[in-house]
């Protein structure tokens, strides 16, 4: 009896050791790219989920063409559920255990700000494909090497576009700001005030509400009393939906401009499809923006029929393309060399645009206000906004 057990144990041991030997051999031929983003929890989780679909599609495309430097790309995927401690843990695990060459993520700016020091110290390039806080790429800008890059919207830049539109669209030049009391909402309020000042405009009212509030009629009554005909809000989709519902209660519809959080479906789920059409928001791309975008959208929607927010899928796709190009240029996965290659990339065809030298020492944003446009929900889909005001926006209007 004892004999049989021990024989089995020896057998198991043999199998497991041979597996352990086999793994590194396979791993040496692979290049791992980490994905660490909220795909399930916060109001922005859909951006992380769509981002993953784009991330995977890019890896598929690269592997179909023989991989990078003859090696296969492998995505290592982690969900941080919007929790900073979990995000930090994921980051350490991806870098120390999985030995990823680069990381794409996260969804939530707060999580990025919680772990930026880890990839920076361990010399692993990161491309933020969703998180928008201005400080993410700026924190290590003064270091000899900044390992943090971004292929996403940048708050300051998207607010610049919203402010420019508000100034053009407002007849009375009475522009107001309403935002939730989270760090995101208050940072947006501060940025907006500064940008509007560049236009020579002082907002007629600046209001705030709690992130869980469901009735903002009192705050909106003040905007109405101040005569605001354009309102800019910096909040996540669920809060913006509640602002719209309160506007409906009051039958008060100034132009409502919001950040790209409005691209998430909680906006239409909570506010209803018709009411959701009443906000105009910033986006880097929509599925109808270019042939590349249409093709990727068609392919992803065939695989993931419920895919929300195409925009972050495009950003996730482009992030992988830029990383792969940098690894190829660096001739390996050494973090220090890949970082340098990122800053001296040539021309790369992406989904959002053709990137021409996207990054440099002083420039870690692949996208800027010139790449963004305005969008709107229409019959349950996000479409590009193309009215007279948008057409009249010139580069000089985009003050920031």
Positions touching another protein (CB under 8 A) are 40-43, 45, 81-82, 181, 207-210, 212, 214-215, 217-219, 221-222, 224-225, 238, 248-251, 265-266, 269-270, 272
Distance of closest approach, residue 190 Cβ to another protein, in angstroms: 16
Which of 317, 306, 309 is CA-nearest to residue 45? 309
Minimum CB separation of residue 220 from another protein in Å reads 9
Whose Cβ is closer to another protein: residue 219's or residue 286's?
Answer: 219
Q: Decide whether 241 or 280 has the Cβ nearer to another protein.
A: 241
We find the least distance from the C-beta atom of residue 209 to another protein, in angstroms, to be 6
Backbone angles phi, psi at 126, to 5 degrees: -120, 135
**The total number of residues written for the chain in this structure:** 400
Residue closer to another protein, measured from CB, 81 or 263: 81
What is the rounded CA–CA span in Å between residue 222 and residue 200? Answer: 22
Nearer to another protein, 249 or 357 (CB): 249
Please confirm whether the linkage preceding 106 is cis (ω < 30° from 0): yes
Q: Which helix (H) or strand (E) holds 50?
A: helix 45-64
> From the CB of 82, what's the least distance to another protein, in Å?
7
Closer by beta carbon to another protein, 63 or else 265: 265
DSSP secondary structure code for residue 375 in this structure: E
How far apart are alpha carbons 100 and 147 in whole angstroms?
Answer: 14
Q: Smallest distance, Å, CB 313 to another protein? A: 19
Strand order in the sheet with 230-234: 205-209, 175-180, 230-234, 255-258, 279-283, 373-378, 381-384
Beta carbon of residue 310, minimum distance to another protein (angstroms, whole number): 18
CA distance 358 to 55: 18
**CA distance linking residue 309 with residue 330, whole number of Å:** 33
Q: Whole-number minimum distance, CB 108 to another protein, in Å? A: 12
Pick the closer one to another protein by CB: 238 or 318. 238
Q: Which is nearer to another protein, 11 or 210 (CB)?
A: 210
Based on CB atoms, which residue is closest to another protein, 251 or 291? 251
Least distance between another protein and beta carbon 393 (Å): 32
CA 165 – CA 230 distance, rounded (Å): 9
State which residue, 140 or 252, has the beta carbon closest to another protein: 252
The least distance separating another protein from the CB of residue 88, rounded to whole angstroms, comes to 18
Q: How far apart are CA 393 and CA 348, in angstroms?
A: 28
- Render the burial of 80-102: b for 16+ CB within 10 Å, e for the rest: bbbbbebbbebbeebbeebebbb
Torsion of CA 81, 157, 349, 296, to 10 degrees: 50
């Amino acid at each position: 009896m004892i004999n049989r057990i021990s024989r089995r144990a020896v057998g198991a041991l043999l199998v497991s050791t041979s597996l352990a030997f086999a793994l590194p051999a396979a791993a040496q031929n692979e290049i791992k790219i980490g994905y660490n983003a909220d795909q399930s929890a916060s109001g922005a989780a859909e951006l992380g989920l769509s981002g993953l679909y784009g991330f995977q599609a890019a890896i598929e495309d690269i592997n179909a063409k023989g991989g990078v430097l003859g090696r296969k790309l492998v995505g290592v995927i982690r969900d941080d559920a919007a929790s900073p401690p979990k995000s930090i843990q994921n980051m350490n695990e991806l870098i120390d255990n999985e030995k990823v060459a680069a990381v794409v993520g996260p969804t939530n700016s707060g999580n990025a700000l919680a772990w930026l020091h880890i990839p920076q110290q361990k010399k692993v390039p990161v491309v933020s494909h969703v998180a928008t806080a201005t400080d993410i790429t700026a924190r290590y800008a003064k270091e000899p090497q900044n390992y943090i890059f971004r292929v996403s919207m940048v708050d300051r830049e998207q607010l610049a576009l919203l402010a420019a539109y508000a100034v053009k669209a407002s007849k009375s030049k009475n522009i107001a700001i309403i935002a939730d009391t989270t760090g995101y909402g208050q940072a947006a309020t501060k940025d907006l005030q500064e940008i509007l000042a560049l236009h020579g405009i002082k907002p007629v009212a600046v209001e705030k509400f709690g992130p869980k509030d469901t009735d903002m009629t009192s705050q909106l009554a003040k905007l109405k009393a101040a005569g605001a005909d354009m309102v800019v809000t910096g909040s996540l989709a669920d809060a913006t939906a509640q602002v719209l519902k309160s506007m409906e209660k009051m039958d008060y519809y100034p132009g409502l401009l919001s950040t790209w959080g409005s691209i998430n479906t909680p906006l239409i789920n909570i506010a209803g499809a018709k009411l959701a059409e009443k906000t105009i928001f910033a986006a880097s791309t929509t599925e109808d923006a270019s042939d590349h975008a249409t093709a990727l959208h068609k392919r992803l929607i065939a695989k993931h029929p419920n895919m929300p927010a195409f925009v972050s899928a495009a950003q996730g796709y482009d992030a992988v393309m830029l990383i792969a190009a940098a690894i190829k240029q660096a001739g390996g996965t050494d973090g220090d060399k890949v970082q340098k290659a990122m800053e001296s990339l040539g021309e790369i065809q992406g989904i959002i645009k053709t990137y021409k030298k996207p990054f440099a020492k002083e420039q870690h944003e692949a996208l800027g206000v010139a790449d963004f446009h305005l969008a709107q929900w229409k019959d349950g889909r996000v479409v590009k906004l193309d009215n007279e005001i948008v057409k009249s926006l010139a580069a000089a209007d985009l003050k920031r």
